[in-house]
A = this chain, B = another copy of it.
Amino acid sequence: MEAKIKTIPLARLSSGDDLTLQVYQFFGNPSGKKVYIQANLHGAEIVGNVVIRQLMSWLQSLDRGQLWGEVWLLPACNPLGMNQRSHFFSSGRYNPYDGKDWNRIFGVEEDGERATFAQKYLNSSQDTIYHAYLDHLKSQLNNAQSFQTSGTSYGVKYGNLLQSLCLDADIVIDLHSSSNEGINYLFTFPKQDESAKAFLLDVGLVVQQPGGYTFDEAFLKPWLSLEETFAQLGRSLNFNLESWTLELGGGMTANPQSVEKGVTGIKNYLAQKGVVNVSDFPLPETKDHHIYLADKSQLKKYYATTGGIIETYPPLRTPVKAGASLYQILEMNKKEHSPQLMTVTAEESGFIFDVGKNQAVNEGEYVLSVLETGDNYDA
A→B interface (CB under 8 Å): 3, 5-7, 11-20, 22, 24, 40, 44, 46, 49-50, 52-53, 56, 60, 75-76, 78-79, 82-101, 148-158, 179-180, 252-254, 256, 300-312, 326, 330-339, 341, 344-347, 356-367
Contact = CB atoms under 8 A, between A and B. Distances in A.
B83 A357 contact: no
Contacts of A344: 149
Contact of A252 (B337, B358, B367): B358
A356 B97 CA distance: 13
Contacts of A357: 88-89, 252
The complex is assembled from copies of this chain, and their number is 4
Contacts of A19: 15, 17
Given A11-B364, A18-B334, A151-B304, 18 more contacts: A5-B338, A11-B307, A12-B308, A15-B307, A16-B307, A22-B332, A44-B358, A53-B341, A86-B96, A88-B92, A88-B179, A88-B365, A95-B99, A148-B347, A151-B364, A153-B365, A157-B363, A157-B364
B150 A347 contact: yes
Contacts of A83: 13-15, 17, 307, 362
A347 B154 CA distance: 19
A234 to B, nearest CB: 30
B16 A364 contact: no
Contacts of A90: 14, 358, 360
A310 B256 CA distance: 11
A93 B99 CA distance: 8
B326 A149 contact: yes
A171 B118 CA distance: 48
Given A88-B366, A358-B89, A49 B12 contact: no
Contacts of A6: 336
Contact of A149 (B85, B305, B356): B305
Closest 10 pairs (CB-CB, A-B): A154-B364, A94-B99, A16-B332, A151-B303, A15-B79, A86-B86, A99-B99, A12-B307, A11-B363, A15-B76
A338 B55 CA distance: 12
Nearest to A157: B364
A79 B359 CA distance: 15
A129 to B, nearest CB: 33
Among A19, A49, A252, the one with the most B-chain Cβ atoms within 10 Å of its Cβ is A49
Nearest to A326: B149
5 contacts: A5-B336, A12-B308, A15-B76, A149-B345, A151-B304
A334 B254 contact: no
A330 B50 contact: yes
A301 B151 CA distance: 9
A301 B150 contact: yes
